[in-house]
Amino acid sequence: MRPEANNAAIIRNRLLDQGVELAWTAAPIPAEALGVAGVSEPLPAGTTIIRQAPGVGRKLALYAAELGVDIYPLATEPNVATVKLNKPRLAIYENWGGNADAGWTRMIFDDFEFEYTHLRDARIRAGNLISEFDVIILPDNSLSTMKNGLRAGSAPDEYTGGMGDEGFAALKEFVEAGGTLVTFDTAGDFAMDFLGVPVTNALKGVTSTEFYCPGSILEVDVDTSHPVAYGLPEKIGAYFVSSPAFEVGGDAEIIGTYPADHDPLMSGWLMGPAFIQGKTAITEAPFGLGRVIMIGFRPQHRGQPHGTYKLIFNSIFYGASGE
């Protein structure tokens, strides 16, 4: 199954829920491995291999017709490295008081048939998150709001106080133990300021008279060989709204960058493009036995930028994948 269509995630989720064995290819599948005449181009890295089992072929035909996803038979076993896909144990954090970015993310998970747990502060503070989850999403939010939450006295006690120090320590423990934390936009401050990953915000301290981009589409060049970018074109449009831009060091891996040689503006307006040219937009930072995937913009902003949904979906499958 080709990786380009967002709806491929629905088919993966359905098949994994049914116990069908799936794997991701880490390199292209040669055209000669396909059991289809007239296909001359290889299938890209990130193609899903679906192991045959009773009834699977019929289901695939129905799913492909329903969802518009290209699925091919294989004539031979492709000689490429693969990674086993597992059913994700997924959670999304949302603070009390409301977070629209979390709401849009949950809508997309519902639309694309991801099962997930809606995490609140008390469950995070309880710790031992790795026993229940492979991947935790932190939607766009400030570090202060995540930690402190609603002010005491402004709501019943069970809704006030945020994650607190206990919750922050529990998230750190989760990543150290092998979990994958995915941050959107300003939620990346958790990874930079609390976890101390080797990533900094290049726009920190830059004033709005020097750089200003309150809601525009910017070009991002992506490394399509990285699992987070499987199925994407080499250039994508990212919705940037007063977002960070990263500088990475150490063992952090660059997945997407703003172009260094030209203004990244694709639509809208941008003042001070030089401040982000050549800077990182998407990065993976190892931490303990786990990782943090930092997407420096809102890839699901208001349920509209379908061209960047795969960054979310791929991060989830990547975080839940096995050997």
**What global pTM score does this model have?**
0.96
Q: How far is CA 155 from CA 84, 149, 151, 165, 188, in A?
A: 45, 11, 8, 20, 28
User: Which element (helix H / strand E) includes 200?
Assistant: strand 199-201
CA angle 243, 244, 245 (to 5 degrees): 125
Q: How would you classify the pairing of strands 290-295 and 180-184?
A: parallel
Cα 124 to the chain's mean position, in Å?
20
DSSP symbol at 30: P
- pLDDT tens string 206-248: 999 999 999 999 999 999 999 999 999 999 999 999 999 999 9
Q: What is the DSSP string of 217-248?
A: EEEEEE-TTSGGGTT--SEEEEEESS---EEE
Overall residue count recorded for the chain in this entry: 323
CA distance 8 to 50: 12
- Residue 323: per-residue pLDDT: 63
Measured between alpha carbons, how far is residue 30 from residues 44, 46, 48, 188, 225 in Å? 9, 13, 14, 38, 16
- Going along the chain from its start, the domains and CATH numbers come out as 8-85 (no CATH), 90-320 (3.40.50.880)
| Model confidence pLDDT, tens digit, residues 39-85 | 778 999 999 999 988 999 999 999 999 999 999 888 888 889 999 99
Q: d(Cα 186, Cα 200) in Å, to the nearest integer?
A: 12
| Proportion of the chain above pLDDT 70, given as a percent | 100
List all residues 6 or more positions away from 76 whose beta carbon is below 8 Å from its beta carbon: 32, 33
- The pLDDT score that the predictor gives to residue 31 is 86
Q: Give the pLDDT band of residue 160 (cuts 50, 70, 90).
A: confident
Name the phi and psi angles at 24, rounded to 5.
Answer: -95, 140
Tokens of 256: 């997407």
What's the rounded Cα separation, in Å, for the pair 177 and 127? 12
Alpha-carbon Rg for the chain, nearest whole angstrom, is 20
C-alpha torsion sign, points 306, 310, 316, 320: positive
Q: Average pLDDT of the chain?
A: 95
For 8-23, how does the pLDDT look when each residue is reduced to its tens digit (9 = 90+)?
999 999 999 999 999 9
68's tokens: 């518009």
SS3 content of the chain, % helix, strand, coil (to 5): 30, 25, 45
Neighbours of 101 (CB within 10 A): 21
Task: Give the span between the Cα atoms of 102 and 37, in whole angstroms.
Answer: 45
